[in-house]
């Protein structure tokens, strides 16, 4: 699994996945943030609930759309980006292009996805050959061949097999195995017995039953098979690591060759598996969760053929349901959209097809997106901002009173070595070997999954290509990669409310500046700090400095654990620690960069009635303005390493004296934290 630290979002366990200007598209860049009564809530005092004060009006004027479980200013920008991508794709679809060209592939992929008449006529036929193969399995002898074949199509039934940089030799790519096999998004859903988990288990069993019924099984069989799958997956869940356990880079680093795998998990025919996925000699494989692999091997031996058939069929069905006919799509939505996230209706079809087009042909679409919508001036401005943030971070390191000189030297080295990627990759991915036709949506999706899997597998045992991106330019997000020691800012995030090409420094440092600082701080959060300047897992800290770092971060854990997110449910301060360190670090570093930028001009003039310092904090808060459904709150609290919008604002700010000063907040306010209890890390 690719290790990357996103600015937002739940990290999905997936393997892969020149510019011009015109007046219309630049309008977006010229928008300035407004801090007026309309978007704020001036009835609330800043020190009581800063999030509400800064964003109350925005939240009122931007209610949750029925097809969203969360809608924030961040998501608003993502929606804008989708519209731009749509215009590119629709143009490609409407143009007669040479077969094999990028434009033909994008256009046909999208058109086939939008052709609901053909898709509905086909029903479950596109997956019937896969289901038949499973049904026709006559003995367990050939079970591994089926598992391998499913892996080639990235319908990974049991675990993910992927290529990534070796954590202790980050210039080289090695293979990895990561726990998988669950249809619900976290092990806890299977193992917890509280009301919401119980309801979800029922909904998931119903979903599986429905999928079997839709693919032709009679009701009794469908229900029996669903029960079998549920029992099987519960065993996988029991053997799975928790999300917290998976945050430990050391215990998830276990390199084994085939003999090693065979000795810890002897019942599984590893060599046959590797032959089947066409990686006959994978070399050393990083097994992230050895106990999970042992359980897989045990189940491989003891479970009967009918259980394996039910399970493998369920994997094919649930991983393809959203590309099949309307009845499958509705079943998929009823569980993943409604039961899990509380959405009222499914997103418009074009948005769903756009998403899968982006997954399949991300850099091809990205290339067109950048040419159309990314002004060179934005990249230049970003280059400058990033370097200013790096300087400010260096100053902060020098000022730290808790870190020894020795560790500071290493911290400076790591900071200086951070590689920066802005906008889009230097070289684009080649899609020549991916054939896309206008005939079948599902076939296109699977063709692209096979293409991606082969592409990833070809990297194993080779040097890491440092120019590669792990996010598309049209994606509104950013990431830090600890093994690459790099920060990456795709073109699509370089717009309001993050980046105002024409905005004043206070708002740009408060928004995109903090985003840059956030990503840089990931190199120094509780996980990132365990990697050295070259991206290798290595300790560059003195023991005392490590201890002082830990005790400072424990203050943040405690603060976030105290946030009640929904009646009786509290935030998980340990799971979200890395992100909360990055938010606080990003704020402190960007604030310093902002002060540097105004060069001793202590009081720049007010805009909209707010001082520059106030605008810095307001711009930061606006990024996280959002409305969210209760189910989504519960889901994210379990799965997402990022805190909720309200806590990304009200959490870190009260740790900064500059925040109290800017809004004249005193000890009588709800948000006030006494100086000795404030977390001060970077």
Residues numbered 66-95 forming contacts with Zn ion, rule: CB under 5 A: none
At 159, is the secondary structure helix, strand, or coil?
strand
Question: CB under 5 A: which stretch of 4-12, 333-341, 432-440, 457-465 binds Zn ion?
Answer: 4-12
Rounded to a whole number, what is the largest CA-CA distance in the chain? 79
Q: Is residue 4 a contact residue for Zn ion (CB under 5 A)? A: no
Q: Residue 170 or 580: which CB sits closer to Zn ion? A: 580
Q: Is residue 225 a contact residue for Zn ion (CB under 5 A)? A: no
CB 240 within 8 A of CB 113: no
**Residue 20 CB, nearest approach to Zn ion (Å):** 32
Measured distance CA(503)–CA(633) in Å, rounded: 33
Q: Residue 410 or 487: which CB sits closer to Zn ion? A: 487
Q: Residue 157 or 513: which CB sits closer to Zn ion? A: 513
Q: Which DSSP state fits 537?
A: B
Measured distance CA(591)–CA(613) in Å, rounded: 9
Q: Total residues at the site for Zn ion (CB under 5 A)?
A: 3
Q: Residue 7 or 150: which CB sits closer to Zn ion? A: 7
493-512 mask for Zn ion (x: CB under 5 A)? --------------------
Question: CB under 5 A: which stretch of 109-117, 323-331, 405-413, 579-587 binds Zn ion?
Answer: 579-587
Q: Residue 293 or 520: which CB sits closer to Zn ion? A: 520
Using the rule CB under 5 A, which residue among 5, 396, 421, 529 binds Zn ion? 5
Q: Residue 506 or 515: which CB sits closer to Zn ion? A: 515
Q: Is residue 421 a contact residue for Zn ion (CB under 5 A)? A: no
**Residue 582 CB, nearest approach to Zn ion (Å):** 5
Q: Which DSSP state fits 641?
A: S
Q: Cβ of 291: how many Cβ atoms within 10 Å?
A: 15
**Residue 215 CB, nearest approach to Zn ion (Å):** 40
Question: CB under 5 A: which stretch of 2-10, 90-98, 184-192, 257-265 binds Zn ion?
Answer: 2-10
At 608, is the secondary structure helix, strand, or coil?
coil
In sequence order, what DSSP letters do the residues of 458-493 get, joined into one string? TTTTSB--TT--SS-TTSS--EEETTTTEEEEEGGG
Question: CB under 5 A: which stretch of 58-66, 233-241, 328-336, 578-586 binds Zn ion?
Answer: 578-586
Residue 396 CA to chain centroid, in angstroms? Answer: 29
- Residue 489 phi, psi (nearest 5): -125, 100
- The set of residues, in sequence order, having a beta carbon less than 8 Å from that of 214 and lying 6+ positions away, is 124, 327, 328, 331
Measured distance CA(304)–CA(80) in Å, rounded: 50
Q: Which DSSP state fits 366?
A: H
Q: Is residue 516 a contact residue for Zn ion (CB under 5 A)? A: no
CB 583 within 8 A of CB 644: no
CB 326 within 8 A of CB 46: no
538-577 mask for Zn ion (x: CB under 5 A)? ----------------------------------------
DSSP H or E stretch at residue 286: strand 285-287
Q: Residue 297 or 478: which CB sits closer to Zn ion? A: 478
Q: Cβ of 326: how many Cβ atoms within 10 Å?
A: 12
At 555, is the secondary structure helix, strand, or coil?
helix
Residues numbered 287-326 forming contacts with Zn ion, rule: CB under 5 A: none
Q: Residue 337 or 497: which CB sits closer to Zn ion? A: 497
Q: Which DSSP state fits 565?
A: E
Q: Is residue 648 a contact residue for Zn ion (CB under 5 A)? A: no
Q: Helix (H) and strand (E) counts for the chain?
A: 27, 12
Q: Is residue 582 a contact residue for Zn ion (CB under 5 A)? A: yes
Q: Residue 300 or 560: which CB sits closer to Zn ion? A: 560
Q: Is residue 649 a contact residue for Zn ion (CB under 5 A)? A: no
Q: Residue 244 or 280: which CB sits closer to Zn ion? A: 244
**Residue 31 CB, nearest approach to Zn ion (Å):** 25
Measured distance CA(594)–CA(625) in Å, rounded: 22
Question: CB under 5 A: which stretch of 17-25, 189-197, 348-356, 581-589 binds Zn ion?
Answer: 581-589
**Residue 652 CB, nearest approach to Zn ion (Å):** 12
Measured distance CA(508)–CA(502) in Å, rounded: 9
Q: Residue 209 or 527: which CB sits closer to Zn ion? A: 527
**Residue 681 CB, nearest approach to Zn ion (Å):** 14
Q: Is residue 8 a contact residue for Zn ion (CB under 5 A)? A: no
Nearest CA to 238 out of 172, 163, 289 is that of 289
Q: Which residues bind Zn ion (CB under 5 A)?
A: 5, 579, 582
């Amino acid at each position: 699994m690719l290790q990357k630290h996103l600015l937002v979002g739940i990290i999905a366990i997936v393997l892969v996945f020149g510019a011009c200007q015109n007046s219309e598209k630049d309008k977006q860049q010229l928008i300035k943030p407004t801090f007026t009564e309309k978007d704020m809530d001036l009835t609330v005092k800043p020190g009581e609930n800063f999030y509400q004060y800064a964003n109350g009006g925005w939240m009122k004027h931007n209610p949750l759309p029925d097809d969203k479980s969360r809608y924030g200013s961040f998501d608003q920008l993502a929606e804008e980006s989708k519209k731009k991508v749509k215009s590119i794709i629709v143009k490609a679809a409407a143009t007669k292009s040479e077969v094999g060209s990028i434009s033909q592939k994008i256009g046909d992929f999208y058109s086939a996805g939008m052709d609901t008449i053909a898709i509905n006529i086909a029903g479950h036929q596109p997956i019937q050959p896969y289901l038949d193969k499973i049904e026709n399995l006559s003995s367990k002898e050939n079970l591994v061949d089926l598992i391998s074949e499913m892996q080639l199509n990235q319908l990974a039934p049991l675990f993910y097999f992927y290529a990534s940089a070796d954590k202790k030799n980050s210039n080289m790519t090695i293979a990895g195995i990561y726990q998988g096999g669950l249809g619900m998004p976290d092990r806890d859903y299977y193992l917890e017995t509280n009301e919401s988990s119980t309801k979800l288990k029922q909904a998931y069993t119903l979903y599986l039953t429905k999928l079997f019924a839709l693919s032709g099984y009679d009701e009794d069989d469908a229900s029996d098979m669903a029960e079998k799958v549920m029992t099987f997956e519960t065993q996988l869940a029991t053997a799975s690591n928790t999300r917290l356990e998976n945050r430990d880079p050391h215990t998830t680093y276990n390199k084994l060759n085939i003999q090693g795998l065979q000795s810890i998990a002897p019942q599984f025919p590893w060599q046959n598996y590797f032959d089947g996925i066409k990686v006959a000699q994978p070399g050393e494989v990083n097994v992230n969760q050895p106990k999970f692999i042992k359980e897989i091997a045990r189940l491989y031996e003891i479970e009967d053929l009918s259980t394996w058939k039910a399970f493998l069929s369920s994997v094919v069905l649930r991983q393809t349901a959203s590309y099949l006919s309307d009845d499958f799509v509705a079943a998929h939505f009823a569980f993943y959209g409604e039961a899990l996230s509380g959405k009222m209706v499914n997103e418009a079809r074009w948005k769903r097809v756009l998403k899968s087009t982006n997954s399949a042909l991300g850099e091809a679409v990205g290339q067109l997106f950048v040419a159309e919508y990314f002004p060179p001036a934005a990249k230049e401005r970003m280059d400058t901002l990033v370097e200013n943030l790096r300087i400010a971070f260096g100053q902060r390191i020098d000022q730290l009173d808790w870190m020894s000189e020795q560790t500071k030297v290493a911290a400076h080295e790591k900071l200086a070595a951070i590689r920066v990627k802005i906008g889009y990759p230097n070289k684009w991915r080649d899609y020549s070997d991916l054939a896309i036709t206008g005939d079948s949506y599902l076939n296109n999706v699977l063709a692209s999954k096979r293409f991606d899997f082969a592409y990833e597998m070809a990297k194993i045992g080779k040097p890491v290509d440092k120019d590669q991106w792990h996010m598309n330019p049209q994606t509104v997000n950013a990431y830090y990669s600890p093994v690459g020691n790099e920060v990456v800012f795709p073109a699509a995030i370089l717009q309001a409310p993050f980046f105002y090409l024409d905005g004043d420094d206070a708002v740009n440092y408060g928004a995109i500046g903090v985003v840059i600082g956030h990503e840089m701080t990931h190199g120094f959060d509780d996980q990132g700090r365990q990697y050295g300047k070259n991206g290798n897992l290595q300790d560059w800290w003195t023991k005392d400095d490590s201890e002082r770092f830990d005790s400072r971060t424990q203050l943040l854990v405690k603060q976030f654990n105290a946030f009640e997110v929904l009646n009786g449910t509290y935030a998980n301060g340990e799971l979200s620690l890395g992100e909360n360190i990055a938010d606080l670090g990003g704020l402190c570093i960007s604030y310093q960069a902002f002060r540097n930028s105004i060069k001793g001009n202590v009081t720049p003039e007010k805009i909209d009635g707010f001082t520059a310092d106030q605008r810095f904090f307001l711009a930061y808060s606006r990024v996280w303005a959002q409305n969210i459904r209760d189910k989504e709150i519960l889901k994210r609290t379990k799965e997402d390493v990022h805190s909720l919008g309200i806590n990304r604002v009200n959490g870190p700010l009260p740790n900064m004296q500059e925040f109290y000063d800017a809004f004249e907040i005193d000890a009588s306010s709800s948000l006030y934290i006494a100086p000795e209890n404030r977390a001060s890390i970077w």
